[in-house]
Amino acid sequence: MKRREIIKKLGAFPLAGGFLTGSSLLDHSGVPLENGVAGNAANIYETLGITPIINCRGTFTILGGSTERPEVFEAMEAASGYFVQYDELADGIGKRLAEITKAPWGMVSAGCAAGLKHVTAACVTGGNPEILLKIPDLSGVEKNEVISPRYSRNVYDHAIRNIGVKMINVETPEELEKRITSRTAMIYVNSGRGSAPGQPLSLEVVSDIAKKYDVPVLLDAAAENLTIPCTHLERGATVVAYSGGKAICGPQCAGLLLGDKDLLMAAWQASSPHHGPGRDNKVGKEEMLGMLAAVEAWTTRDHDQEWQTWLSWLDEISQQMLKVNGVTTEVREPQGLSNVAPRLVVQWDPDQLHITGEEVAEEVARNAPRIAIGAGSYDNMTSINITPSQMRPGNARTVADRLYGILSQKRTPQSDELQPASTDFTGHWEVEMEFFTTRSTHIMYLEQDGNWIQGTHQADYATQEIAGMVEGNEIKMRSRFRAPGDSINYWFSGKGSADQFSGSVFLGEYLTAKFTAKRTQYRDRKERIVIPGGPPLAT
């Protein structure tokens, strides 16, 4: 079967506004969309027991990123079935990307995070393969530190740390300049509010300091719209990294690097197909040409028409939501370059409709037709929000009807009364955590006041506050581990007695674990303590 036939069976063509004809609403056999998903597109997942989701959240990787452009599929199909030398291919693509984007050079990586990794390796090695093969053991390597404004630390800088560098956080221009030494390989900046013009450590400020010491600046612009010429390069960045599977609508497993040619050649050396620390970040010739096609398409897409299409979908949903008494709607249009799409906010008083936005989001996430939406509560109001950039034709009707059915449903007020606690969990607990293939022991010190629990949770590498509730003999608690750029939420849910309780731990994106907590037994040592009156006379 040819790739194009597979694509048609999946009903996978993207839906940038105004580009699709009515036939794109049907699968290859003419079956209409069901719950916003083409028949065969749903079936291929349902054979695995998976229900497809209508994406009203945006370009989240865990949902599949963005919908790829038709030009991307065509380029990937054209690339398949032939063989080329990859260094020659990278050189040709680099030149073409430079022509399109007005950047000095371009490179396609296996996603934005892989691009961050490769550029970090390039800054550490300078293109020296002996240093490349030492990674991540940087003992004896001069360039082994990366400086980052504290606001830039995030979960994605694991890609940078994978090279083995030491991360140094700074908070002021003076501190940045002081921390630059001969060991500084590069400065990493995450694009956003902190790097905006006028901020203490804006990209301009960072770049001006970096240039004094000939230190490259890597800017992470993963979810941003592509600007031509690249505004961040003009503001002083050495290399800018984009995700292919977000605003650009290229392959989900591709990324785009633009900037200094020599540094990007060293980054290419540090990536697959070359052996070394980047071999595990393989990007195929199909994805490379698909990414190039997405960048070329960016220059010809009717972005204004896409925006109007998104607004029309939000209006269709909004009109249905306003039929529910007590509901208000507002379309918010974001500023800046990242995650640029209008967003519909649907708001109400939870005491009037007797349901919260979080409960609505949970309901539509778990039950068909499944829909991914955002939710939040503040100032005694609750809301859901809908981002249309990855919705498909026909989705708006499904979403509007689904949400209207939930919000218009008559409900009786839910009692806020908690069942009295029948177990007192106050005390010192040893908690055996059971992960997929290993175990560890955590410690909890809990204090209980009626239905409420508070205390401390000593995990493997940190101690944090824990709080929760008790009903009957059931206990629910939450704590949060924090580290620069990272966090882990622990949701404990269990039941038991005054001496032992057990259950499950929901770890968010890190899935689940099991736990068993046993009350610590102290030795009964009731003896008088006598404090010496001075230093010992003998030992």
Average pLDDT rounded to a whole number, residues 203-210: 98
Domain assignments of the chain as residue spans, ordered by start: 3-54, 71-298, 303-407, 427-519
Q: Which residues contact 206 (CB under 8 A, 6 or more apart)?
A: 149, 176, 187, 189, 195, 217, 236
Which is it for the CA torsion 437, 441, 445, 450, positive or negative?
Answer: positive
For the cut 90, the answer to whether the pLDDT of residue 131 exceeds it is yes
What values do phi and psi take at 382, rounded to 5? Answer: -130, 160
Name the pairing type of β-strands 255-259 and 239-243.
antiparallel
CA dihedral 350, 356, 357, 361 (to 10 degrees): -150
Pick the CATH number of 303-407 from 3.10.20.30, 3.90.1150.110, 3.40.50.970, 3.40.50.800: 3.90.1150.110
pLDDT at residue number 278: 95
CB 347 within 8 Å of CB 378: no
What does R_g of the chain's alpha carbons equal in angstroms?
27
Burial of 22 (0-12, 13-18, 19+ CB in 10 A): exposed
Model confidence at 255, in pLDDT bands (50, 70, 90)? very high
For the cut 50, the answer to whether the pLDDT of residue 473 exceeds it is yes
Model confidence at 41, in pLDDT bands (50, 70, 90)? low
Q: What is the pTM of this model?
A: 0.87
Helix (H) or strand (E) holding 346: strand 343-348
Of the candidates 278, 152, 151, 303, which has an alpha carbon nearest to the alpha carbon of residue 226? 303
Give me the chain's average pLDDT, please.
91
> For residue 220, which amino acid is it?
D
Helix (H) or strand (E) holding 131: helix 129-134
pLDDT at residue number 521: 85
pLDDT digits (tens, 9 = 90+) for 375-410: 999 999 999 999 999 999 999 999 999 999 999 999
Q: Got the DSSP string for 39-51?
A: HHHHHHHHTTT--
Where is pLDDT greater, at 25 or 31?
A: 31
CA dihedral 348, 350, 351, 354 (to 10 degrees): 120
Average pLDDT rounded to a whole number, residues 5-19: 34
pLDDT at residue number 1: 37
Region of residue 408 (left: phi > 0; alpha: psi -120 to 50; beta: else): alpha
Tell me whether the CATH fold assigned to 71-298 matches the one assigned to 303-407.
no
Which architecture, in CATH terms, is 71-298? 3-Layer(aba) Sandwich (3.40)
pLDDT at residue number 230: 97
Superfamily covering domain 427-519: Quinohemoprotein amine dehydrogenase alpha subunit, domain 2 (2.40.128.120)
Model confidence at 37, in pLDDT bands (50, 70, 90)? low
Query: Of the given ranges (23-32, 220-229, 437-446), which has the lowest mean pLDDT?
Result: 23-32
Buried residues in 388-425 as b, exposed as e (16+ CB within 10 A): bbbbbbbbbebbbebbbebbeeeeeeeeeeeeebebeb
Q: What percent of the chain has pLDDT over 70?
A: 92
For the cut 90, the answer to whether the pLDDT of residue 36 exceeds it is no
pLDDT at residue number 31: 36
List strand residue ranges (DSSP E) for 370-522, in order.
371-372, 374-378, 381-386, 427-434, 439-449, 452-458, 463-471, 474-483, 486-496, 500-506, 512-519
pLDDT at residue number 72: 96
pLDDT digits (tens, 9 = 90+) for 291-349: 999 999 999 999 999 999 999 999 999 999 999 999 999 999 988 888 899 999 999 99
CB 266 within 8 Å of CB 285: no
> For residue 421, which amino acid is it?
A
For the cut 80, the answer to whether the pLDDT of residue 24 exceeds it is no
pLDDT at residue number 524: 81
CA 114 to chain centre: 14
Query: Of the given ranges (59-68, 122-131, 441-450), which has the lowest mean pLDDT?
Result: 59-68
User: Which position has the token pair 């508070």?
Assistant: 454
Q: What percent of the chain has pLDDT over 90?
A: 85
Can you tell me the distance from the alpha carbon of 341 to that of 332, in angstroms, rounded to the nearest whole number? 9
Q: What is the DSSP letter of 24?
A: G
pLDDT at residue number 7: 33
Can you tell me the distance from the alpha carbon of 376 to that of 359, in angstroms, rounded to the nearest whole number? 10
